[in-house]
């Protein structure tokens, strides 16, 4: 056989084996699609609504306990010898302050995280603010404005617990929460000064508020829809309220009434 013809014949044979002869490699398995994130929520300013109301207090609240700071001279000096009281019941004109109000259900989509930090200060040996809200991923800047040792001990259930010491006046540390808190509100305490306590509501949306001493609150820029509002107080528990807002509506009657219980403090 002519060598050139033999080379062509062998090439054809190898080609048949490669393209169709023998076993074929198994096709690659189809890749599992990545989970689709919830679409980002957009709020049209032209249709955004506002929900406002008042937290009413029925009855006379228990007296707030005085804070005895004698164990730390720096705390005594910061308060000029006065004994302030706890901020458990802050009431003015029949209203109740330091109540955390938030949208419990009815929202859809995801919401952008603010980059502006929440400032959580330790001043005159008390936490300021006593109650506040923060979004998941939003920085919480913890500041020590006192010339004494403080520590910030957060005890969440969903997020990671942390306990940070700040021994020097002017120290700052930043913390973020990575998930919506199961119980919504996270307690804070200082292990050095037992009277220091505060509460942070951690949510995955920006629709929350803290009532003023007169009980008033407002939640703005809310998409039109039907929602469940929840009001939380550290001693009096929670209450729910159903509200519906139309486009551009300003609803001002989202009111809650808590009953002051004797000995609640």
Q: Could you state, in order of their start, the residue ranges of all structural domains in the chain?
A: 55-259
Q: Is the pLDDT of residue 234 over 50?
A: yes
Report how far residue 210's alpha carbon sits from residue 101's, in angstroms, rounded to the nearest whole number: 6
Paired tokens of 1 = 């056989």
Residue 224 and residue 247 in contact, taking contact as beta carbons nearer than 8 Å: yes
Instruction: For residue 4, name the pLDDT band (cuts at 50, 70, 90).
Output: very low
How would residue 40 be classed by pLDDT, with cut points 50, 70 and 90? low
pLDDT value at residue 19: 34
Q: Which residues contact 101 (CB under 8 A, 6 or more apart)?
A: 53, 55, 208, 209, 210, 211, 217, 219, 229, 230, 231, 232, 256
Average pLDDT over residues 126-134: 98
Q: Which CATH architecture has domain 55-259?
A: Sandwich (2.60)
Please name the residue ranges forming H helices in the chain.
Answer: 3-19, 73-78
pLDDT at 175 exceeding the cut of 60: yes
Asked whether residue 13 carries a pLDDT value surpassing 70, the answer given is no
Query: What's the half-sphere exposure (Cβ side, CA atoms, 13 Å) at 185?
Result: 23
Question: What integer pLDDT is reported at residue 261 of this predicted model?
Answer: 74
Mind listing the pLDDT tens digit for each residue in 197-221?
999 999 999 999 999 999 999 999 9
Tokens of 92: 């003015």
- Lowest mean pLDDT of 16-25, 61-70, 163-172, 192-201, name the range: 16-25
Q: Is the pLDDT of residue 91 over 70?
A: yes
Is 60 exceeded by the pLDDT of residue 176? yes
Q: Kindly state the DSSP code that residue 66 receives in the 8-state scheme.
A: B
Given this model, what pLDDT does residue 17 score?
38
pLDDT at 41: 64
Residue 147, pLDDT > 80, answer: yes
8 Å CB contact between 219 and 52: yes
Helices first, then strands: H and E counts in the chain: 2, 19
Contact indicator for 153, 192 with CB cutoff of 8 Å = no
- pTM (global) more than 0.85: no
Q: What's the token pair of residue 6? A: 């033999």
* Confidence band of 81 (pLDDT split at 50, 70, 90): confident
The CA distance from 200 to 189, in Å, is 11
User: Which of the pair, 257 or 3, is modelled with greater confidence?
Assistant: 257
How high does pLDDT run on average in the chain?
87
């Amino acid at each position: 056989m002519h060598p050139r013809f033999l080379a062509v014949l062998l090439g054809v044979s190898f080609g048949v084996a490669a393209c169709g002869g023998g076993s074929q490699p198994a096709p690659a398995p189809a890749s599992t699609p990545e989970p689709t994130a919830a679409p980002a929520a957009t709020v049209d300013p032209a249709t955004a609504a506002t929900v406002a109301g008042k937290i009413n207090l029925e009855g006379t609240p228990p007296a707030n306990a005085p804070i005895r700071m004698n164990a730390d001279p720096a705390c005594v000096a910061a308060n000029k010898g006065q004994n302030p009281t706890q901020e458990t019941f802050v009431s003015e004109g029949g209203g109740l302050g330091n109540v955390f109000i938030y949208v419990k259900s009815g929202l859809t989509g995801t919401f952008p995280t603010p980059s502006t930090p929440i400032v959580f200060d330790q001043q005159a040996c008390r936490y300021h603010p006593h109650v506040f809200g923060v979004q998941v991923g939003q920085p919480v800047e913890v500041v020590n404005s006192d010339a004494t040792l403080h520590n910030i001990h957060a005890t969440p259930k969903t997020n990671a617990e942390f306990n940070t010491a700040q021994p020097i006046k002017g120290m700052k540390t930043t913390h973020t929460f990575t998930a919506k808190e199961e119980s919504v509100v996270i307690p804070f305490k200082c292990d050095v000064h037992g009277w220091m306590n505060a509460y942070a509501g951690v949510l995955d949306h920006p629709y929350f508020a803290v009532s003023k001493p007169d009980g008033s609150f407002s939640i703005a820029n809310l998409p039109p829809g039907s929602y469940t509002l929840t009001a939380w107080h550290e001693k009096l528990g929670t209450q729910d309220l159903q509200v519906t807002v139309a486009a551009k509506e300003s609803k001002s009657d989202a009111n809650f009434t808590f009953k002051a219980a004797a000995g609640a403090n």
